[in-house]
Structures are given as C-alpha cells and as structure tokens.
Amino acid sequence: MIKLEHVTKIYPGQTEPAVNDLSLEVPDGEICILVGPSGCGKTTTMKMVNRLIEPTSGKIYVEGQDVMQMDPIELRRSIGYVIQEIGLFPHMTIAENIGTVPKLLGWDDARIARRVDELLELMGIEPAEYRDRYPRELSGGQQQRIGVARAMAADPHVMLMDEPFGAIDPITRDRLQNEFLRLQQKIRKTIIFVTHDINEAIKMGDKIAILNVGGILEQYGSPSEILSHPANPFVEDFVGADRALKWLNLVRVEEVMDEHPPLIFDTQSVREARQFMQERGLDFVYVIGADRGLKGYVNARDLEGQQGWVDAFLTPAAVSIQLGTSLRDTLSELLASDYRTACVVDEEQRVRGLIQLDAIQEALSARKGGER
C-alpha cells in the first residue's frame, strides 16, 4: 500500500505549492493514475514517493514505512521505476540492463540470469534471441517492454511509472497498454502511474486522482465513479463530453459477449452446415477446429448446391477480439473491419464467445438508463 497524508511541496524560491495538502491511499495490487494539466504536480507527487524529490511537509508511507525514515538509496532499489524515455543503458546488453538492480542488491550471476530469462518470457520476448542484444537493435515497443522488465527485476511490490507509453506511436501504445493490463492481472503490483491523457487514465487505472494546477486534488475515485459522478465543473470539463464512449474503456468484452455462440467444426459436411444455419436463421457461421481454434467462417450462399466438407469453403475471419479487450477497442476493431460481429478468443486463439455491435449498443443503453 502507498499512503500520502497532507503532503505539500513548495520548491525553493516559490511561494505557491507544486503539491498542496495532498492525501490519498493506493490499495495493494491496484494502479493509481495521477492525471491533470501541466503544472498540476503529478510528476512531483510520484517522485516524492521514492524521494527523488523531498516533500516540504506531510507523510508518505510505502508498505507501512515512513519513506523519510528510510535510506533513500535502499528505498529506490525497492521500488520499480519506469520512465517515458525508457532510460536503457545503450552500452549494456538487454540482460545487463534488466539485471542492473539485482546486481546492485548482490544477487549471484545464476540467479540474475534466471530472472532475466523469466522476465523476457513474461514480456513475450524470446530470451535466447534478445538477451545479448543492445537497446539500439530493438524497436521502440520492445525497448519499452525491457524498461518495464528492468523495473520488475528485483520483484518490487511497488512500481512508479511516469508516462511509460507516452513516447511511442499510438498503435504500439495501445498494444502495450493491453499487454500491461494482462500482465498486471498476474503480478498485482501496487502502482502509481502518471499520465496527461484522461483516456489512458480511464483505461489503465483502478483509481484515478485528478489534480488541478498547484497540486490540488479535485477528485479521487474509480474510473466509473469519475465518469458517472464528476465532482465539480473542472473534473467534468477535464473528462470531456464523450463520457459514454470513455465508459466503454471500463467494460471488458467478456462481460457482454455471447458465451455460447453457434459454431461448427471444420470436419463437418456442407449439408450439416447448411442445415445448421437454416435451423437458426443464420447467413453465416464461424468454423472451429478440434481444439476450438478459430478457422474462419462459411457463408450460406457459398454452400448452395455444394457438397463435401466445410473446410473447403472457409473464408478467413477478418477480425477476432482477444479476451480482456475493452468494449471501446472492440467497437473500434469492428467498425474498422466493416463487420458487425466477431469471435472472442483467448491467448491460444480458442473461441470463447461472440461479440456483436448490438450487444455494445445494449450495454451503452443500459448504462444510460442506470444513470437516470
């Protein structure tokens, strides 16, 4: 847990505080987003947690310990830290970069090597291929993954992330955000995450602290609370008029998908497929393999007058949606594909359900009805 009690920061030579009497608590295993306009003190607040910046007054506790009573070097080594510029050492290999803090902590070489490979695999990066490369040999997205891996190397309970996905292109950023949220489900770190982007805040945060210029806390709550009940005109204006669309970031596709969609196997006959669709009034049906892996789909019109097996008439699925994807991202993918429906698949590409545009519309309508 991270706890701030009446924390104020006034920089030397300044009369107005950068952070003003800030109190908030981040529960174990949750992501707290600090968001607000330039000059709101969000980065200052984060850096006071690991004492890169010293508070003027107030108390900060990390896992029950007053940070001002801790050795600052030991404190920083116990907290993972990820920054926008990634900060990898260019003269060190990927393995050496990841192993920086464990080496400082006195881990032996074998333990460091095991941890490096474990983290590379966790990040979806092949250890044998990448551990001896240098940062310049990696893409921006890969470098950012290594930055996160390095922050996790000593398995800290607490992580600080300062706009970690801000310096990469939008497509890569979206993918890394999704990957990190899936990773967080496994590792359950306690995280303070700084961003200027309210959409990123809503997508990534369990709690959001909206700060105003001068480090004034305007509202602290869950994304749903902030979208449904903004505390004041500043928060309402900062969140924006499209709150309904932003709300779609809070709902995962599995919450509204059809968990028992009509499916046929690729070993079935054309006659069976035609009969299956006729009985259910379908124009097409998705086709799966014995392992429930998505093979594609067949159209009723393509099977008219045909014989044989359905695998000979397969059309590849234009889009599939990963479990854990937000409804906003799901809506975007469906609209981009020009399809009204898509299969929802797990990490092994096995079909777990079906999502339709109508289901997203119904979810939005139900939310609006609940607010009245």
Query: Do 161 and 76 share a structural domain?
Result: yes
- Calpha distance 335→333 (Å, rounded): 6
Three-state secondary structure call for residue 55: coil
Query: Do 269 and 168 share a structural domain?
Result: no
Whole-number Cα distances in Å, 123 to 11, 87, 119, 131, 143: 39, 17, 6, 12, 11
**Burial of 151 from C-beta contacts in 10 A (0-12 / 13-18 / 19+):** buried
Among 224, 251, 278, residue at a domain's last position: 251
Q: Which position has the token pair 């908030």?
A: 24
Instruction: Let me know the angle formed at the C-alpha of 24 by 22 and 27, rounded to the nearest 5 degrees.
Output: 160
* Contact assessment for residue 266 and residue 295, using Cβ atoms and an 8 Å cutoff: yes
- Structural domain that includes position 247: 2-251
Query: Do 183 and 146 share a structural domain?
Result: yes
Query: Do 185 and 103 share a structural domain?
Result: yes
Q: What is the CA radius of gyration of the chain?
A: 25
Among 201, 229, 251, residue at a domain's last position: 251
Query: Do 223 and 129 share a structural domain?
Result: yes
Task: Give per-residue pLDDT as tens, 18-73.
Answer: 999 999 999 999 999 999 999 999 999 999 999 999 999 999 999 999 999 999 99
The CATH number that applies at residue 298 is 3.10.580.10
Bridge partners of residue 220, in order along the sequence: 209
Query: Do 56 and 158 share a structural domain?
Result: yes
Query: Do 307 and 167 share a structural domain?
Result: no
Distance of CA 223 to the CA centre of its chain: 14
* Contact assessment for residue 12 and residue 32, using Cβ atoms and an 8 Å cutoff: no
216-221 vs 57-62, strand pairing mode: unpaired
Res 167: pLDDT? 67
Q: Which position has the token pair 């010293």?
A: 54
Q: Residue 57 corresponds to which tokens in the numbers above? A: 């007054």
Res 36: pLDDT? 96
Res 180: pLDDT? 86
Query: Do 309 and 247 share a structural domain?
Result: no
Res 372: pLDDT? 46
Among 251, 272, 293, residue at a domain's last position: 251
Domain tally, the chain: 2
- Calpha distance 314→291 (Å, rounded): 17
Query: Do 284 and 197 share a structural domain?
Result: no
The CATH number that applies at residue 138 is 3.40.50.300
Query: Do 204 and 342 share a structural domain?
Result: no
Task: Give per-residue pLDDT as tens, 114-156.
Answer: 999 998 988 888 999 999 999 999 988 888 888 888 888 888 8
Query: Do 169 and 114 share a structural domain?
Result: yes
The total of other beta-carbon atoms located within 10 Å of residue 335's CB is 11
With a cut of 70, list the residues of the chain below it in pLDDT.
84-86, 167, 368-372
Query: Do 351 and 247 share a structural domain?
Result: no
Res 65: pLDDT? 96
pTM of the predicted structure, to 2 decimals: 0.77
